[in-house]
Structure 1
Amino acid sequence: MKPEQREKMISLLESANINLSILPATDIFLNGRNTERPIPRGLINAKDFAKRINTCIASNNILNAFTPYGDASLLRMANMYANLSQSATEEELKAVYEMIGKNAAEMIQQKFILEEKMPANLVIVEAKNATDAIRRVSQPLLGLKSGRVTFKNEAAILFIPQI
């Protein structure tokens, strides 16, 4: 879109209080298929949208004709989006992390905080912080839904050879 069209689109979405959910894996697989030139990547750069409307990153149709690859990892989708949108600074990566966390929770009208005596819905990952989790596509260690453990993975162990 030309900048004027893009601004109009953002304004319309903002005034209608509409959320934006982007699907990086589906978009880059489907867009630009019928061309003899190098395949353009049809992923929206949501940075301008995310400044004014609630924007999240998601995945759908995993392992089917529209998205034949994937494992439902939102960190993997965030990493893919960060690469394709050339988001690299701490600030940009924090915004990308919010797209798979706080913004996504808001979109489905869920709280994104833990409160005492509240059933936990969370995933614990092996990372120093949010930006590290995206940069490394960190391994999920534990998942809870309504306070119940839904999966558990062991932390990676590195074996350093003795010289």
Structure 2
Amino acid sequence: MFNLALQYNCDLDLHLDNWDSAEAFTLPYVAQKTIEYNYQGRVAVSHIASLTHVSDSQAQDAIQLIKNADISVTVLPTRIKLTRVAELLEAEVNIVCGTDNLRDPFIRYGDADLLKALLLLAQLTGYMANRDLERLWQTISNNAAKMLRLPYGINVGNPADLVIFDAYSIPEAILHQTVRLAVFKSGKLVAGTMQGKSLTVETASLGLHTLIL
């Protein structure tokens, strides 16, 4: 896969170690190959549930290795077993919150709403303080953009992709599962409760994927 990625100049996204057992633990191997191929910053892995089943020392070694390899990790809180999210965050690994299979034999429920996934992630990790919720918010905003190697922030020339929430703060948006007032894609209003209403928005210099109002 690394050879193919190099040949076609593609990033790698691997569903990895999605097994509730220490037997399926290929994460260190993938991290080593990432460094070997100089592919730091271009590899993402999802699930890595087996990380919770190896010893603490093995887990810490693996976490340091993926940190050195600059691998992004997508965590799926709707999954039955969650990986070591808190330890990965403390190691400053680029963590992204995502949604998993929906209404199939693996996951019977869900609707792909990232705000709901973020609330579930907060509940499963026990993160309750405002500063912790603000930290988790990065997993669906800055961190996600970094994983996809997309521009992020309010800068001239950035894509005008943003979501406007009816909330005064990040914790309020998460805890109240607040209404999405407007969703913009490339400066065009595509969804939200503002649709159909008169609205004037200057989008030329906006680059937010998420905006709290």
Q: Where on the TM-score scale, by shorter chain, does this alignment land: which range?
A: 0.7 to 0.9
Question: RMSD of aligned C-alpha atoms?
Answer: 1.6
For 1:112 and 1:130, locate their aligned partners in 2 and report how far apart those are by CA, in whole Å. Answer: 17
Q: Give the alignment of 1:101-120 within 5 angstroms.
A: 101-116=141-156, 118-120=158-160
Which deviations, in whole Å up to 9, do the C-alpha atoms of 1:69-104 show, x marking residues without a partner? 222211110100001111001121111101111111
Unaligned runs of 5+ in 1: 29-41, 155-163
TM-score by length of 2: 0.61
| 2:50 corresponds to 1:10 | no
Aligned residues: 140
Q: Give the alignment of 1:87-98 within 5 angstroms.
A: 87-98=127-138
Residue 72 of structure 1 aligns to a residue whose secondary structure is coil
Partner of 2:108: 68
| 2:70 corresponds to 1:23 | no
Higher relative contact order, structure no. (Cα contacts within 8 Å, ≥ 6 residues apart) = 1
Residue 133 of structure 2 aligns to a residue whose secondary structure is helix
| 2:185 corresponds to 1:145 | yes
Which deviations, in whole Å up to 9, do the C-alpha atoms of 1:39-69 show, x marking residues without a partner? xxx1124122123210010013223232232
Unaligned runs of 5+ in 2: 1-53, 195-213
Per the alignment, do residues 12 and 119 of structure 1 end up closer, same or farther by CA in structure 2, a change over 3 Å counting? closer
Partner of 1:49: 88
Per-residue deviation at 1:3? 2.4
Partner of 1:129: 169
- Which letter does structure 1 place at the counterpart of 2:65? L
- Which letter does structure 2 place at the counterpart of 1:66? F
For 1:118 and 1:12, locate their aligned partners in 2 and report how far apart those are by CA, in whole Å. Answer: 32
For 1:15 and 1:116, locate their aligned partners in 2 and report how far apart those are by CA, in whole Å. Answer: 32
For 2:180 and 2:131, locate their aligned partners in 1 and report how far apart those are by CA, in whole Å. Answer: 23
Q: Is the 8 A contact 2:152 2:158 kept in 1?
A: no
Residue 43 of structure 1 aligns to a residue whose secondary structure is coil
For 2:84 and 2:119, locate their aligned partners in 1 and report how far apart those are by CA, in whole Å. Answer: 14
| 2:152 corresponds to 1:99 | no
TM-score by length of 1: 0.78
Per-residue deviation at 1:5? 2.1
Residue 137 of structure 1 aligns to a residue whose secondary structure is coil
